[in-house]
Structure 1
Amino acid sequence: MDILDAVLQSEKSQAVLLIDSKEITYAQLAELTAEFADSHFTHRGLIAIECANELTPVIAYLSAVRYHMPCMLLAPGSISKNRTVDSYSPSLLVQKVDDDWQINATGMSVECHDDLAVLLSTSGSTGSAKFVRLSRENIISNAKSIAEYLKLDGNDRGITSLPFHYSYGLSVINSHLVAGASIVISNASVKDEVFWQNIDDLRVTNFAGVPYTFEILEKIDFLPKKPHDLRFVTQAGGRLSPEKVKKFHTIFSENDIKFYVMYGQTEATARIAYVPPEELAGNEGCIGIPVPNGKLKLLDDEGREISAYEEPGELSYTGPNVMMGYAESGQDLIKGDEVSTLRTGDLAAKKSNGLYYIVGRIKRFIKIYGVRTNLDEVELRLNEMGERAICTGTDGQLVVAVLKNQKEVRRKVSEFLDIPPSSVTVLEYVELPLLPSGKFDYQKIIADSSAKGKARKNNFRDDLANILQIDRVEDGDSFISLGGDSLSYVEATVTLEEHLGFLPDKWQILTMRELEELSFSKSTSHWLKPFEISIFLRAFSIFTIVSGHFKFFSLPGGAALLFVVAGFNFSRFQLPAIIHKDSVLPVFSLLWRIFLPTVFVLGFFSVLSGRLDLPALFLVSNYWPPDAFGGRSFWFIEVLIQVYVIIFLIFSLSIVRKGAGKYQFYFIFVMVLVSYGVASLIEVAWNTEYLYHRVPHIMLGVFSLGALIGVAELRKEKLVTTMLAIILLYQSLFDGRFERADYMFIGAMLLLWVPFIKLPWSLSTVFSLVASASMYIYLSHFKAKQVLHLLLGDIDSSVAVVFALVVGIVFWWVWERGVRFAQQFHLTVVKPRLKSAT
């Protein structure tokens, strides 16, 4: 009985797996794996497992390990997408179908070597059928080596911060098992609040990260205080720059956390080398020393060992964790051990202190998201598709040079590699660049790619300056610091997504320099894209308002929900600017942008009709009974402006701005209570029901609730906000009818708990346009219907709704471009002339 057998048959009551706050002890794990085997293992055959960090695939893997069943570990969704079943004939499939885990026998069988334990993809992102064959000894020896140098014991607790079809992620599970430690099974990313909550609440002692992980950590305040049990952090899966290694080593050391920089390959199960944390300072560019029981050598072109320091050669590795060999079809699974020494394909050198460092690469591989991608395989796939292309790139960015059809190539590569389009740069040439020797000039392609990237980024700055109507955008500027608001946010979002190919989290607070340094993104479906719920709600609310007014589709409460969204956007745009600048002027700027087009529309139609309604023109007609001015007033805009005036007065006080900056959530929480309290007192003296409560003291509470949603980031803050919303809206929510409060509550909860939804790309474009133009649609929709009626007479209400939306979008487009033209004319013509005159 080896160590994994002993662990998986243990009767200890100590927790080994923790998932969704539930603990599974070693004894319970033994029962679960036995039950799985009894239900599904009929003979020794290959098991194909889609490896999401969830209980079912983890139990399937551990059952396979316990009962010596070889398993093929695959990325989620792989079984239905590639030729794995045809090539390897697995007997059992563990896959997720429509959000449910299914375990199905295939009726197929393949003969496997007695030592074979795991198949891992060599370059899984290419969809290649080539796998690394790992034995049980490979897995156990590497897990024990890792546990030894990390000093893992039964008190340690890891967390699945990486997928376990990836050798690095798998090694986290295996090393903790052999050490008798425990693991938190979680799909959360390090950028998610629940990840850090798990680290604190579940007493996690360590987590693993690839370079992208640390790019995220740079963007968030990931260690506001040291989690009391966090002992060490590991990094592998690609090269982290020496500057970032130094930065994180310093941060972790200050918090008494060890930082392990490591190097490995799937062909060596996982780990080959590591840098002892105490030797990391001054050696930030190194991969370190071999793992216990392993040996590193440098070989020259003739295969002879290089003993001199600082002399580069191909890095080779020997140890019990070196793979059995490769497999390219099911027929290869019967093969035994074919490899004793692993030639890594990396050029390395050895320092006088015994630490190795990488100089370059011999083979044509790059890493995207820590997964090695074979450039030759990508070229072959494209050639099979009829595309004449050559490939090069750097870690994180694939560059494809083609003769034609640029957009089609990018889409194809993105789909068959299953990576975001932002990770693929496609360059179009009349003739592919060659060196005098006749070989392809890869350096020129890399240089051209870099130049294209810089031009694209500069264009985004120009576009953003145009959207925000400013002269220039500097390195340290962000959307918020430049005065961006909810009216310009949607257009800026769409523009940024066009430039980067994805939308970074909280991009509005990132500087231009930070945005331009981003090279990674979330993987998205080729036909679905993440879409901000706040933008969706703006678009849907204005649609329900227009539909209700035109008696096409009635859903009361659209305007109330827009007040929630307005408050939410205030907390994201104006509030940070107020705090940062210690000034209330950002509110005034937004007020002006709302006031100007509203008064223009009212004034224009007053002139046409020959009737001047001063209360409507001065935006106070909401204090008169509804419809007193024959449709020549806009109560929603009026009350919104009046609410912003109150906000302007509140934040004009320095003590208020300081309080909001220091205790943001608590300040807005109190603001909600005070707003509702004051409104209740006023209603006692002045019942505004005859005005349909279209007054600022009523809507200020709704607006403030939206602002509270915007600043609620921690889970406990979101729970408090949810309870507060239920309490404030209790009577309306539970009166048995679907009224305005119900619509508003549902929208508020979506804002609070569901930041993104997925929409088809084409539909998301429509929603973006409607959301951008929402205020202009509101201002023009009644007049648009009147014009349509004059032209066509009685028309279907659905046609009127569509026409009103289109007219509003056109109005927005013309107004915004007109304002930008005037601004540009002032900057380029008027301002220089005034300057020269003085």
Structure 2
Amino acid sequence: MSSTEALPAVHAAPRVVPFVRDLAAHGGRCALVTSGPGRREVSYAELAARVAALAGRLGVTRRLVLVEGANDLDAVTAYLGALAGGHVVLLVPPGGAGPLLDAYDPDVVLARPDGSRDGPLDLRERRAGSAHELHPELALLLSTSGSTGSPKLVRLSQENVQSNAESIASYLGIRPSDRAVTTLPVHYCYGLSVLHSHLLRGASVVLTGLSVVDRCFWDLVRSEGCTSFAGVPYTFDLLERVGFERMALPSLRYVTQAGGRLDPERVRRFAELGRRSGWDLFVMYGQTEATARMAYLPPDRALEHPGAIGVAVPGGSFALEPVPELDGSLGPGVGEIVYSGPNVMLGYAQSPADLALGRAVEVLRTGDLGRRCPDGLYEVVGRRSRFVKVFGLRIDLQQAERVLAEHGLRAACVGADEELVVAVAGEAGAALRLAVRELGLPPHAVRVCRLEELPRLSSGKLDYARIRELARGPGQAPAGDGAGAGSVRALYAELLDRPDVGDGDTFVGLGGDSLSYVEVSVRLEELLGVLPPAWHTTPVGELQRAAAGSQRPVGRRRFGRSLETGVVLRAVAIVLIVGTHAKLFTLLGSAHVLFALAGYNFARFQLASPDRRERLRGQLVSVARVVVPSVVWIAAAALVTGTYGLLNVVLLNAVLGPESWTRQWHFWFVEVLVYVLLGLVALLAVPAVHRLERRRPFALPCAVLAVGLLGRYGVLDLGVPNPKPVLWLFALGWMAARASDVRRRALVSAAVVATVPGFFGDPWRDALIAAGVVLLTWVPVLRCPARLSRLLGVLASSSLYVYLTHWQVYPHLVGVSPVLAVVASLAVGVAYWALASALMRRLPRRAGRAGARLPRPRAAVEGARDRLRSGV
């Protein structure tokens, strides 16, 4: 019989999922709430009537019905109506019917016309009877997790759907008074299970397509009194971005998580938040093949065992089957997790002929590797299908992703025998270094593809098929692009002394900091025409493609060039400092503007890497680039002039020096800057503080500001004899760099207005400081004449060196001419900067050559590799 020939009508009483059949039993209770301007409440009695009407339209002949699922009343009614009529439902996402129409030839299609995602569903009968032989137990067909649109479907029975809804409702303790809100699509088994379990208990479901990042979503949660919502790991990423921990949600009773492993630290964090806020966190484990859920972690065990999947759902059980190829590499007691229960699918369908099959599996081999803990909880340690061998090393891709996530990188890993591909939404250079260091692979065996966002399925899970496709595409700049003298790569190689620059590297990832960014930014602006706002964290390959495709009109360049405001402020401030000391004019306050600018640059360049160890290394190197030239110059000046003592040379005069102002106080700025930087480096080396800064990048500098203000207003005696407290100014600059929206910039400005006036008691001095910080906060770039921009760039780059040297220059010339004293001071500082920069660039090169001759720390590499393989 052909696929289009209708089978004889079958009028035997259909098997119906019990909770669908019994909708009317809940009477006038609210079943569904539709959101939006046309909000309405639909009672169970009304829903039952709508479902019955739809079932009547489908007729008594049992057929294959394709339904486009959506979080709206029409789609839910269509789905339930097809089930109530005893039909087999093929549930697909909105607009996703195409591939499965050809593959399965459904008898009836309930979809919106022309792929539209709005408007009512059309019921389109493709034949009067059915072209298929449908097994009497078959009720629902769902795409396997991660394969939306694939012809491989999961066959679920009426018992599967009913039993899983009952077990979920049981362990969640769902009550008739509960009201869930849809955060996941109903065509995804997790989202569908929320609908099933609530309808089973006579509870309510609020239907919405809003995301958790929408403010309207949370207004809806409050106004409707929602008691729960569900999330996949990506949902919890978004919750942290929108400040969920600060929200007042008095009706919230519990939050559920499934759809992938949530990092244990995050499990603990949300469990603690729930405990403080009065709601429970249920971490769950499941697969479409088990209708939805197989295990849950009781909320009272989440803090103690945040990495566990918990215990089997009511009616289910687990076993562990040995996996011979593991050879015990993941530790004792590890095997493949095998699940048994009434919710285990009938089997898979690959074609319409499979719809006639009955039960083909009795237990579900999950493909996950796990162990049973002594307390009876189960935990997953890996995925059997996600192990690959790269250069003979057995790599657990899932564990590799976890390692990268622990260092703050959102990454997805795919692999083959010849290379590991890491797709990352973030710092590509850091991802490469981490992958090489933690996996023990050679750099040429790791390829990093930087993406703006990791591709995801509608369920929120990573779309590995798409990631593989992107990895096969043009992930690097074309051959030869970027290799020439006018390339971004060559510019970085020259100015950062890094001949190993790759297309995935960034300025920050290559070790660039506040002392080198000025020269790089000026030269890069010349190359690109317009300097991108986030150029310091943009991969070289992207900048090079922008350079290759940029159209830089000569006329515009003649009238001016964009310079970052921080560059202009540094240049102007050092001129004002020298000019004031040489008595060419009197404009005080510039050094304190530079202190705020130091905080601004600290946030931009020293806090860019997500890896705590990478950050610490970069911060210490940056401090050394301040300390070394300072100590060298002060020591030389002390030997030649006798003006300075040992306290100056070791940069301790600000702590142990005399209270009265003397020449020994010339270098207070450098000394206090080093103290602040070292203090913050130590603070951010604490893992908890590092995590706080990653989660709340604006809140931490606000806290530092609060501490700094204790010194500013004399509440806390810092023990520094002479300089006024300046930590709060550093914090204001840090806040300015993290002020990503108008509200935060306004908050920084308000803090400036509230704290700067009265600091010195000199209105003009205070005004200069306030103006500098506010300008830095609100104006990212300034236009200036092309010729002047290069001069400003040089002065900004050499500002530290000018500050160090001008004390030994201007006093000898100020009696001749203040102008000459200023020009000479600037010239000597620039010369010292050029000399010191050349010398410091040679040191890493020599150290690198020496390091290349050292034996590789094999034991350390193999230890890291073993930890990765074992899942520790």
What TM-score comes out, normalization by structure 2 length?
0.50
Q: 1:56 to 1:65 in 2, by over 3 A?
A: same
Aligned mate of 1:89, from 100, 105, 126: 105
Of the three residues 277, 285, 298, the one matched with 1:263 is 285
Q: In 2, are the aligned partners of 1:15 and 1:182 still within 8 Å (CA)? A: yes
In the TM superposition, what are the counterparts of 1:188-267 in structure 2 within 5 Å? 188-267=210-289
2:64 to 38, 46, 53: 46
Q: What pairs with 1:730-809 in structure 2 (closer than 5 Å)?
A: none
SS at 2:22 equivalent:
helix
Equivalent in the alignment of 1:350: 372
Tell me, what secondary structure is at the counterpart of 1:35? Answer: helix
Shift in CA distance, 275/410, structure 1 to aligned 2, threshold 3 Å: closer
Q: From 72, 78, 85, give the equivalent of 1:67.
A: 85
Say whether 1:13 aligns with 2:63. no
Out of 459, 472, 492, the position equivalent to 2:533 is 492
1:579 matched residue in structure 2:
750
Measure the CA separation in 2 of the matches of 1:389 and 1:302.
25
CA distance in 2, matches of 1:42, 1:514: 66
RMSD between superposed Cα atoms in Å? 5.4
Q: 1:828 aligns with which of 785, 793, 797?
A: 797
Partner Cα distance (1:61, 1:816) in 2: 66
Measured against aligned partners, the alpha-carbon deviations of 1:440-479 in whole angstroms (never above 9, x if no partner) come to xxxxxxxxxxx9898348369969999999999xxxxxxx
Distance 1:57 1:325 in 2: 26
Q: Quick one: distance in 1 between partners of 2:454 and 2:254?
A: 40
SS in 2 for 1:354: coil
Report the 3-state secondary structure (helix = DSSP H, G, I; strand = E; otherwise coil) of the residue aligned with 2:134.
coil
The Cα of 1:175 is off from its aligned counterpart by: 0.9
Residue identity (%): 32
Partner of 1:100: 119
Q: CA deviation at 1:76?
A: 2.6
Distance 1:118 1:500 in 2: 47
Is the 8 Å Cα contact of residues 88 and 110 (structure 1) preserved in structure 2?
no
For 2:50 and 2:374, how far apart are their aligned partners in 1?
A: 51
How far apart are the structure 1 equivalents of 2:377 and 2:335? 14
Alpha-carbon distance, 1:237 to partner: 0.9
Q: Deviations over 1:38-61 (max 9, x none)?
A: 334574222222322122222111
Alpha-carbon deviation of 1:413? 8.9
Match of 2:505 in 1: 455
The structure-2 alpha-carbon separation of the partners of 1:57 and 1:495, relative to structure 1 and needing over 3 Å to count, comes to farther
- 1:458 corresponds to which letter in structure 2? V
Q: Is the 8 A contact 2:476 2:541 kept in 1?
A: no
CA distance in 2, matches of 1:160, 1:118: 20
Task: Give the alignment of 1:287-302 within 5 angstroms.
Answer: 287-301=309-323
CA distance in 2, matches of 1:164, 1:185: 10
Give the letter for the 1:268 counterpart.
Answer: A
In structure 2, C-alpha distance between the alignment counterparts of 1:471 and 1:490, rounded to whole Å: 7
CA distance in 2, matches of 1:352, 1:299: 18
Cα distance change of structure 1 residues 822 and 234 upon mapping to structure 2, 3 Å threshold: farther
Cα distance in structure 1, aligned partners of 2:456 and 2:213: 24
Question: What is the aligned counterpart of 1:313 among 335, 341, 350?
Answer: 335
- Alignment partner, residue 154 of structure 1: 176
The letter for the 1-side match of 2:794 is: F
1:110-132 per-residue CA deviation (whole Å, 9 max, x = no partner) reads: 33212111111114456422111
Aligned counterparts of 2:160 and 2:608: Cα–Cα separation in 1: 42
Cα distance in 2, alignment partners of residues 412 and 827 from structure 1: 38
Say which SS state the counterpart of residue 296 (structure 2) adopts: strand
Measured in 2, the distance between the counterparts of 1:500 and 1:26 equals: 58
8 Å Cα contact 2:315-2:341 kept in structure 1: yes
Taking the aligned partners of 2:609 and 2:108, their CA distance within structure 1 comes to 46
Measured against aligned partners, the alpha-carbon deviations of 1:170-207 in whole angstroms (never above 9, x if no partner) come to: 11111111121110111111121122112211111111
The answer on whether the counterparts of 1:469 and 1:820 sit within 8 Å (CA) in structure 2 is no
| Secondary structure class of the residue paired with 2:212 | coil
- After TM superposition, the score normalised by the length of structure 1 is 0.52
When residues 321 and 491 of structure 1 are mapped into structure 2, their CA distance, relative to the original with a 3 A threshold, is same
How far is the alpha carbon of 1:492 from its aligned partner?
Answer: 2.1
- Pair 1:79 & 2:97 matched: yes
1:118 to 2:109 alignment: no
1:578 maps to amino acid: S
Please say which of residues 195-204 and 319-328 is displaced more in the overlay.
195-204
Query: Is this contact kept in 1: 2:253–2:279, CA < 8 A?
Result: yes
- The Cα shift of 1:829 comes to 3.9
For residues 769-823 of structure 1, the C-alpha deviation after alignment (integer angstroms, 9 at most, x for no partner) is xx999xx9xxxxxxxxxxxxxxxxxxxxxxxxxxxxxxxxxxx7xx597776444
Q: Which amino acid aligns with 2:151?
A: A
**Rg (Cα) greater in structure:** 2
Aligned-partner residue type, residue 271 of structure 1 = R
Counterpart for residue 23 of structure 1: 41
Distance in 2 (CA, whole Å) between partners of 1:264 and 1:149 is: 14
Counterparts of 1:42 and 1:466, CA distance in 2: 77
Deviation of 1:352 after TM superposition, in Å, equals 0.8
Name the amino acid aligned to 1:215. D
SS at match of 2:168: helix
Three-state SS of the structure 1 residue aligned to 2:308 is: coil
Q: 1:574 to 1:32 in 2, by over 3 A?
A: same
Counterpart check, 1:324 vs 2:354: no
Q: Residues 504 and 540 of structure 2 are in contact (CA less than 8 Å); yes or no, is this contact kept in structure 1?
A: no
Output the CA distance in 2 between the equivalents of 1:160 and 1:325.
Answer: 28
Q: Aligned letter for 1:90?
A: P
User: 1:455 is aligned with what amino acid?
Assistant: D
Q: Which amino acid aligns with 2:76?
A: V
Q: Using the TM superposition, name which of 116-125 and 463-472 deviates more.
A: 463-472
Partner of 2:583: none
Does the 8 Å CA contact 2:537/2:608 hold for their aligned counterparts? no
The aligned residue for residue 187 of structure 1 is: 209
Q: What letter is aligned with 2:533?
A: A
Instruction: Indicate conservation of the 8 Å contact 2:509/2:609, yes or no.
Output: no
Query: Cα distance 1:294–1:127, how it changes in 2: closer, same or farther (>3 A)?
Result: same
Residue 409 of structure 1 deviates from its aligned partner by: 12
Once the two structures are superposed, the pairs formed by residues 650-689 of structure 1 within 5 Å of their partners are: none
Name the CA shift for 1:834/1:301 in 2 (closer, same or farther; >3 Å): closer
Distance 1:215 1:7, change over 3 A: same
> Secondary structure of 2:246's partner?
coil
> Offset at 1:326?
0.8
Distance verdict in 2 for CA 1:391–1:323, change over 3 Å: farther
Determine the C-alpha separation between the residues in 1 that align with 2:55 and 2:607.
50
Q: Look up the equivalent residue of 1:61 and give its one-letter code.
A: Y
**1:469–1:374: structure 2 CA closer, same or farther, 3 Å change rule?**
closer
Task: For 1:500 and 1:200, locate their aligned partners in 2 and report how far apart those are by CA, in whole Å.
Answer: 46
| 2:353 partner SS | helix
Does structure 2 retain, via aligned residues, the 8 Å contact 1:157–1:181?
yes
Structure 2 distance, partners of 1:317, 1:299, is 10
Partner of 1:809: none
Q: Tell me the equivalent position of 2:548.
A: none
Residues paired across the two proteins, number: 517
Question: Given residue 579 of structure 1, which amino acid in structure 2 is its aligned partner?
Answer: A
